[in-house]
Structure 1
Amino acid sequence: MGDFLDVYSIIFLVLAVVVLLKLRSVLGQRTGNERPPVDRYSERRREDNSAANGNNDAPEINDNVVSLPSRNEEDEERRREAEDRRLEKVAPAGSALNEALRAIISSDRSFEPRNFVNGAKAAYEMIVTAFAAGDRKSLKNLLSREVYDGFVAAITDRESRKETVSSTFIGIDKAEIVEASLKDSIAQVTVRFRSKLISATRNEDGAIIEGDPNQVVDVTDIWTFSRDVTQRDPNWKLVATETAD
């Protein structure tokens, strides 16, 4: 029985030695001269620190690597190009008006020249109609304090003479931005309106003393609108009026 166990023990020992030799041939041996494993993250941190400290020994960067623009950069570039195209429809590139409008846009991203002109046209019709009707309430929301006081004084003077105005707004032939500025936070934009009106003023007896109720008149007005771009209120108010010669 002892001899039987010794034979099997010897067989298992031989098999173990064979397996060990096989593993050693496959995995190799450590000689003490092996290179340590590379920690690429630590290496990257050392390179970044060296570059930040101005170390000239930092690894060279491959000049052939080209950095591609990020998605945000591409979106911003497209936005600027679209903005340039819109501005050039209102004011030629390089003109003083173009630069002034660009300054307003940089301070007020909601400002868009063509939309502003459309809003100015609507305000022009409302103001002209309200003035003829003596509608002080509507005027107050559209005019600066100084202009409002002037309009109200004219209405009051007209009423004191018991005069009335009949007015029909036909439409606006053309409205264009002719001047703009940004001083501190105050933006101002001047618009030239060419419109058609029918207007007649009558005295207390109903006699026409000015205008013609049957004649369409061409009118050219130059109005300036203003807004503080730092305020949340998006509305522009009329701050100056001028009638073209």
Structure 2
Amino acid sequence: MEFFDFGTIFFLVAAIVIFFQLRNVLGRRTGNERQPFDPYTSARTGPKPEATSPAENVVSLPRRKGNGEPDVEAYAAIDAFAKPGTDLNKGMRAIHDNDPTFEPKTFVDGAKMAYEMIVMAYADGDRRTLKNLLSREVYDGFVAAIADRESRSEKIQSSFVGIDKADIVAAEMKGSESHVTLRVVSELISATRNSGGEVIDGDPETVAEVKDVWTFARDTRSNDPNWKLVATEADD
């Protein structure tokens, strides 16, 4: 009986030691796990460090003067994009006043990533990706076009070459929503094939220049950082 008691205690201790070792190796959920990728904000914020000091914050609120007016330095990045006093500059400043994280260059970088994702998702008929990046009205239009294409058993064969140019051409606040319009010039290889595999539109071997004017919007009152495509038009 003494041997049985000793063996029982020995295995119990061993089990406890193994438990704590696994706990240290595998870790625990802390509630601070990385959030899903967002193309509009990832370029602006980047990964957050585990511990920061005020000087290490990736995104800081604009400093304000004693009279409550934003410091001129807070608009430096905007002034580099658009001449002070122009409608474009005023629009971006208004957006910045309502959303201190807004900065033209990093916004354009994120919008370019979203542009490619949307173009390829439309070609592939990827409704899930489109739903996350489009407003309801634009999404319904894209999905209707995809469904019409599928009803004829047509498929789009696309290869995204790259974006030659992406410029902010308009910016404004509409109520609590910030709206930013981009003129995008991209290169794309695209061809539409019928059910028999014959090319009925485009060219599978030719790089074509595509010009678009897209408007993205975001509600500045929302905790959701995502911008969504709210309007599209071809730039002829």
Could you state the TM-score of these two structures normalised by the residue count of structure 1? 0.67
1:186 to 159, 177, 199: 177
CA distance in 2, matches of 1:82, 1:152: 44
Residue 105 of structure 1 corresponds to 96
**SS of residue matched to 2:139:** helix
1:24-63 aligned within 5 A: none
2:199 to 184, 193, 208: 208
Query: Unaligned 5+ residue runs, structure 1?
Result: 1-71
1:124 to 86, 90, 115: 115
Task: Give 1:82 shift.
Answer: 3.3
Residue 96 of structure 1 corresponds to 87
Which fold has the larger relative contact order, with Cα–Cα distance below 8 Å and residues 6 or more apart in sequence?
2
Task: Give 1:186 shift.
Answer: 1.0
Residue 37 of structure 1 corresponds to none
1:139 aligns with 2:130: yes
Residue 238 of structure 1 corresponds to 229
CA distance in 1, matches of 2:175, 2:66: 29
Task: Give 1:184 shift.
Answer: 1.6
Which runs of 4 or more aligned residues in structure 1 lie more than 4 Å from their structure 2 counterparts after TM superposition?
Answer: 72-77
CA distance in 2, matches of 1:139, 1:108: 25
Task: Give 1:76 shift.
Answer: 11
Q: Deviations over 1:125-161 (max 9, x none)?
A: 0000000000000000000000000000000000000
CA distance in 2, matches of 1:198, 1:126: 15
CA distance in 2, matches of 1:140, 1:74: 42
1:213-224 aligned within 5 A: 213-224=204-215
CA distance in 2, matches of 1:209, 1:82: 54
1:170 aligns with 2:164: no
**Structure 1 residues 217, 75: CA separation in 2 closer, same or farther (over 3 Å shift)?**
farther
Conserved in 1, the CA contact under 8 Å of 2:163 and 2:186?
yes
**Structure 1 residues 76, 242: CA separation in 2 closer, same or farther (over 3 Å shift)?**
farther
Q: Which amino acid aligns with 1:94?
A: G
CA distance in 1, matches of 2:149, 2:232: 19
CA distance in 2, matches of 1:76, 1:118: 34
Task: Give 1:74 shift.
Answer: 7.7
Task: Give 1:168 shift.
Answer: 0.3
Task: Report which of the two structures shows the higher radius of gyration computed on alpha carbons.
Answer: 1
Q: Which amino acid aligns with 1:198?
A: I
**SS of residue matched to 1:141:** helix
Conserved in 1, the CA contact under 8 Å of 2:65 and 2:71?
no
**SS of residue matched to 1:234:** coil
Q: Which amino acid aligns with 1:151?
A: F
Residue 50 of structure 1 corresponds to none
CA distance in 1, matches of 2:184, 2:71: 29
CA distance in 2, matches of 1:201, 1:165: 4
Q: Deviations over 1:162-210 (max 9, x none)?
A: 0000000000011010001102201110001000000000000000000
CA distance in 2, matches of 1:154, 1:75: 54
Report the identity percentage: 56
Task: Give 1:83 shift.
Answer: 2.9
Q: Which amino acid aligns with 1:133?
A: D
Once superposed, what is the RMSD of the aligned Cα atoms?
1.9
Task: Give 1:85 shift.
Answer: 2.3
CA distance in 2, matches of 1:206, 1:129: 20
**Structure 1 residues 166, 185: CA separation in 2 closer, same or farther (over 3 Å shift)?**
same
